[in-house]
Amino acid sequence: MKVPMLSACGLVILSFTVSGQSIYSFDVLDIDGNSVSMENYRGKVLFIVNVASKCGFTYQYEGLQVLYDTYKDRGFTVLGFPSNDFLHQEPGTNEDIKEFCTLNYGVNFPMFTKIKVKGRNAHPLYQFLTGKDTNPGFSGRIKWNFTKFLISRDGQTLARFSPNMKPGESEIITAIENALE
């Protein structure tokens, strides 16, 4: 079903739901193995990122943490989803990933268990984010680590950023600030 909506910057966007599914329809496991409903994030601006510890873009953890620290008090959060889908660049256990991120980058934004983000066995959240029917305009396979999705307070995808776009780039900052207004 298509539902027209007015975005913060005055553009009309189309909201799509398929079989009642939305970003809030999914449960995920946090890095410690606890079940978390995405419904818990309703009303927040989300920055969903597939991450890896042994990637050329791993340094982006630092920028993601800066974004989180800068905007968390305004209803923004980063959600990190480790994945080993690209050249085995996230080989560790969840405990290894948590320790690496904490010790090397001071990560304290929500991190989740390692998942698949591409292919038939992709986690349902990523099937939703990349699906032609569920996320038109932002669909398509995840091509590498550190692909970023900006989600509005009402669960709509506002933007998708490539892995090589750093978290502190002006385009990302502007999109986040517009979403928070």
Give the pLDDT of residue 136.
85
Radius of gyration of the chain (CA): 15
- Domains (ranges, CATH) in the chain? 19-180 (3.40.30.10)
| Cα of 5 vs its chain's centroid, Å | 22
Q: How far apart are CA 170 and CA 161, in angstroms?
A: 12
Is the Cβ–Cβ distance between 130 and 122 less than 8 Å? yes
Which tokens is 44 given? Answer: 């927040």
Q: Which amino acid is at 160?
A: R
Q: What is the mean pLDDT of the chain?
A: 89
What amino acid positions are annotated as catalytic residues? 55
- Using the structure block, give the residue that is written with the tokens 């989300």: 46
Q: What percent of the chain has pLDDT over 90?
A: 84
pLDDT tens-digit readout, 119-165: 999 999 999 999 999 988 899 999 999 999 999 999 999 999 999 99
- Using the structure block, give the residue that is written with the tokens 């978390």: 36
Asked if pLDDT for residue 69 goes beyond 80, the answer is: yes
Q: Kind and range of the H or E element at 49?
A: strand 45-51
Give the pLDDT of residue 6.
36
pTM score, two decimals? 0.87
Burial 89-115 (b: 16+ CB within 10 A, else e): bbebebeebbebbeeebebebbbbbbb
pLDDT tens-digit readout, 154-168: 999 999 999 999 999
111 pairs with which residues across the strands? 80
